[in-house]
Amino acid sequence: MASLQSFSSLVAVVPAAGVGKRMESTCPKQYLKINGLTILEHSVLKLLSHPDIAQVILVISEGDEYFTGTSLATHSDIIIVYGGNERVDSVLAGLKAVDETKNHWVLVHDAARPCLESKDIDALITSCRKTNHGGILASLVRDTMKSSDSKLQVTGTVERSILWHALTPQMFETKLLINAIEQALVDKALVTDESSAIEHVGLPSLLVAGSSENIKITRPEDLALAAFYLTRINKDNLCE
């Protein structure tokens, strides 16, 4: 396994080829705007503002009509790759564009998570470096959790102290993650995030506590909440 004890910089992969049907929007959700910037710009520029992240590999769909209208289109630290039908296909395309000889470790971040905070990136990188294991940002479940049957009737209460919301970025050794995803696809396993592929091949993932405000914008009502969080994050940064 490649050591994380020392590195010059990291690369982040951002899959952004989805259409976001649940947003009920005329354009893909990553191109909706909050405070004058697209969701995608907020997400990518946050990554690039971190001192340990030198480059973002941005995975968009072929024929994307919106990307050239963003500030990211001419950014020197962004590489464009075309994605596939599913998120996992886009992630794999992005990973294969990483120069493994220089970037042994990689972060993967959802395009629709614009409220990421630098301190959480710090925590993830520090934890992975300390243990030399890959890991994910996550937040503990706060609500009472119920299980149900096919008739949507409650079958029990689930112990919430061991339940976490999986967030991004998720950080793993580049080659290991590529191999895990490819194996999961061969096995027709469900891959909803990078950790699920790592879990499928029996390898560990660290849980690194991150802010629950690092929401994934999925539905129309999420926009107002994200705008509120971003305003607060920006104010906090001005005070530092």
Nearest Cα to 121, choosing from 14, 44, 195, 208?
Answer: 208
What tens digit of pLDDT does each residue of 131-182 get? 999 999 999 999 999 999 999 999 999 999 999 999 999 999 999 999 999 9
Q: How many CA atoms lie within 13 A of 126 on its CB side?
A: 9
Give pLDDT tens digits for 90-135.
999 999 999 988 999 999 999 999 999 999 999 999 999 999 999 9
DSSP state of 21: G
84: its two tokens: 């596939």
Question: For the range 35-40, what are the long-range contacts, defined as Cβ-Cβ under 8 Å and sequence gap of 24 or more?
Answer: 35/227, 35/230, 35/231, 37/71, 38/66, 38/70, 39/111, 39/112, 39/114, 39/217, 39/226, 40/14, 40/16, 40/70, 40/72, 40/111
Q: In order of start, what are the domains of the chain with their CATH numbers?
A: 10-239 (3.90.550.10)
Taking only the tens place, the pLDDT of each residue in 3-52 is: 655 556 899 999 999 775 666 567 899 999 999 999 999 999 999 999 99
The 8-class DSSP code of residue 154 comes to E
The torsion angle over the Cα atoms of residues 187, 84, 1 and 167, rounded to 10 degrees, is -90
Identify the CA nearest to 137 among candidates 146, 127, 149.
Answer: 127
